[in-house]
Amino acid sequence: MIIYRARVYDTPVDPFDGGEIRGDADAGIAVDGGAIVARDAFAAVRDRWPEADVVDLRDGVLIPGMIDTHVHFPQIRAIGHLGRPLLEWLDHCALPEEVRLGDPEYAAEIAAEFVRGLVSSGTTSALVFGSHFASAVDALFEEGERVGMRITSGLVTSDRILPEPLLTTPDRSRAEAAALIERWHGTGRARYAITPRFAFSASAELLASDASLRELADDLWFTSHVNENAAEIAGVAEMFPDARDYLDCYDRAGLLGRRSILAHNVAPTDAELARLGELGAGVAHCPTSNSALASGFFPLRRHLEHGVRVALGSDVGAGNGFSLFKEGAQAYFMQQLAPTGGLPLAAAHLLHLATSAGADALGLSDRVGVLSEGMRFDAVWVRPADGEPLDVGLRHAQSDDDAVAKLFALGTPADVARVWIDGELVTSRR
Ligand SMILES: [Zn+2]
């Protein structure tokens, strides 16, 4: 039994539904075997277990482990290219790097860099866009298992338009995916996600073959891209003339359901939003990527009005880093700047989007996303260096909202001092 004594912030009630930040200035969180067995005022928890070890974290703040719902494993070395729209960026920046993952040794190196990038930024669960190469997807799951991360991922499939080494066939991809599902789905914290890259690079036959994987397990996840960029959307409409809209390319193949997360959805129709809401599916909002590629303003308000689950994605490597503090701040900026329909966001929304909203979208709300009794202890201790602006800000915050706003305004991976997953310390800088 360990009692963590800390200033804690989380969002047990959805702030888009009237919830507020739950802030405890001096909380005790008792953890046993990875589970939170009590959360109360420190003195009360201490009285219950006077012999327990106490870890004093009052120098910083404790928040739930963050949850990234869209991030590309093969693209860590592609971060930072500027000045190109989506399809050009893919051709020049991302896809040449993705081809290199055909080399298993290279893929293992990238997997280590990638998982480290996530964890050291305070991300403890992620829906990861995998690789086109099955051996590289193995490398990712192996590294995730070694570190203990909650990773949902899968083989990325495409059978047209992309460079030849990234192409597959319906039969080959089905066989490779089936073997990966057998090895990884439900193994430790790993789960499998069916992952066609996007309808733009997939034939209807490939999408149907991907959907047929559902016969192997009824709780597989699905992820892909949708409605990111005008040229992409027009291309998909040409390639799927019978589809009602972009989303329908996946829907008619039988790919969509509650366990689905589509990335971007910057330019959806109302019919698409209504369908996503009806399915209970989620959308990964990736604001630095949308900004870097000039993809557009995410219509957050319309998503919420249609009951669509929304969480944050870093979309590395189009997004420019792993930090969900930065994504939260950028989401806020873009809603402020949106020419029409922007939704003003408060600190509680940002914390929710980076934590509990991701848990909800990924079906992990019974385990992670908040620091309540009964949950697993996935947590991030933010402890900036003495005298840094975030340190000054946290010490002089006027309220819980003010403190959390400062986390998103000023927090960086360098301020993430410790990270726990399932009670295990996986990163420690202090
Ligand atoms: Zn993406």
* Exposure b/e, 24-33, CB count within 10 A at least 16 = b: beebbbbbee
Q: Where in the chain is the domain with CATH 2.30.40.10?
A: 2-65+368-428
* C-alpha 178 – ligand 1 centre gap (Å): 23
* C-alpha 180 – ligand 1 centre gap (Å): 21
Taking only the tens place, the pLDDT of each residue in 129-141 is 999 999 999 999 9
Instruction: Please state, in angstroms and as integers, the Cα–Cα distance from residue 345 to each residue in 15, 328, 352, 408, following that order.
Output: 10, 9, 11, 12
pTM passes above 0.85:
yes
Q: Residue 103's pLDDT is what? A: 98
Q: Where in the chain is the domain with CATH 3.20.20.140?
A: 66-337
* C-alpha 356 – ligand 1 centre gap (Å): 21
* C-alpha 335 – ligand 1 centre gap (Å): 20
Q: Which has the closest alpha carbon to 128: 284, 351, 349, 281?
A: 284
Determine if the peptide bond prior to 317 is cis (ω within 30°). Answer: yes
Q: Residue 15's pLDDT is what? A: 98
Q: Which has the closest alpha carbon to 288: 70, 140, 125, 35?
A: 70
Contact 351, 62 (CB under 8 A): no
Q: Residue 81's pLDDT is what? A: 86
Tell me which DSSP letter residue 31 carries.
E
Angle at 238 between CA 96 and CA 282, to 5 degrees: 70
* C-alpha 315 – ligand 1 centre gap (Å): 5
Taking only the tens place, the pLDDT of each residue in 13-58 is 999 999 999 999 999 999 999 999 999 999 999 999 999 999 999 9
* C-alpha 395 – ligand 1 centre gap (Å): 37
Taking only the tens place, the pLDDT of each residue in 175-218 is 999 999 999 999 999 999 999 999 999 999 999 999 999 999 99
Q: Residue 83's pLDDT is what? A: 79
- Under CATH, to which class is 2-65+368-428 assigned? mainly beta
Burial class (CB in 10 A: 0-12, 13-18, 19+), 140: buried
* C-alpha 23 – ligand 1 centre gap (Å): 33
* C-alpha 365 – ligand 1 centre gap (Å): 24
* C-alpha 263 – ligand 1 centre gap (Å): 6
Instruction: Residues 66-337: name the CATH superfamily.
Output: Metal-dependent hydrolases (3.20.20.140)
Taking only the tens place, the pLDDT of each residue in 71-99 is 999 999 999 988 789 889 999 889 999 99
* C-alpha 86 – ligand 1 centre gap (Å): 10
Count CB atoms within 10 A of the CB of residue 413: 19
* C-alpha 314 – ligand 1 centre gap (Å): 9
Q: How confident is the model at residue 167 (pLDDT cuts 50, 70, 90)?
A: very high
